[in-house]
Structure 1
Amino acid sequence: MAISGSPKKMAEDIAGGFFSLSPPVLKKYTPADLKVILNNLQLVQREIRQTQVPLEDVQQVKAKNMRLSRMNQAEMVLRSYCKKKRIPL
């Protein structure tokens, strides 16, 4: 099944906590789609890391770290799913 909507928007939704990746969700995507999703996850992760937040603002630092944590978890789920199904990335 093709990716509905923009893959970058999907990655941003994952970072925001509105969408999560799991093996049943990944099952409907082709190997090419999985590569596109992984590339966009890495792109959004880089964008999040580039944002500068003041160290005094604990709430913003916490929000940034939470977004990075969600992105890291989604990437790990995707990579382990592809490893299990022997899909090269």
Structure 2
Amino acid sequence: MEGAEFRGKSLAATARDIADGFLSINPLILKKLMPDDYKNLYHYLRKIQTEVRSEKFPLHDTLSIRNRNMRLHRLHNAIIILQHIARERKVILA
């Protein structure tokens, strides 16, 4: 899994950028990736999604709750888009 890069960053760093909102996924961006990179990016997105979900939930801090939910929303949307494009290109992710 190591070694694949996207815009000069590792796929793990790219997945974190997607979660933080610095990068958004669309079909034009994914066009440049190889089939193995689809699988690796999917793996990293799911891994970060699990990390965000496993963090302690901030019960009384509405700003933290909003930030957490936005990260999960961005990750979910990126995963759905990645799955759709992979299906079109006949790449098996799981």
Please indicate the TM-score interval, normalised by the length of the shorter structure: over 0.9
Aligned-partner SS, 1:18: coil
Structure (1/2) with the larger strand percentage: 2
Q: Which runs of 4+ in 1 moved over 6 A?
A: none
Measured after TM superposition, the shift of residue 78 of structure 1 is 0.2
Partner residue in 2 for 1:61: 65
Aligned-partner SS, 1:71: helix
Partner residue in 2 for 1:42: 46
Q: Normalising by structure 2, what TM-score?
A: 0.88
Question: What runs of 5+ residues in structure 1 fail to find an aligned partner?
Answer: none
The alignment covers a number of residue pairs equal to 88
- Whether 1:14 aligns to 2:18 is yes
Please give the per-residue CA displacement for 1:36-82, whole angstroms capped at 9, x wherever unaligned.
00000001111111111321111101100000000000000000001
CA distance in structure 2 between the aligned counterparts of 1:22 and 1:69, rounded to whole angstroms: 15
Give aligned-pair identity as a percent: 35
Report the RMSD for the aligned CA atoms in angstroms.
1.0
CA distance in structure 1 between the aligned counterparts of 2:64 and 2:14, rounded to whole angstroms: 22
Partner residue in 2 for 1:84: 88
CA distance in structure 2 between the aligned counterparts of 1:48 and 1:83, rounded to whole angstroms: 26
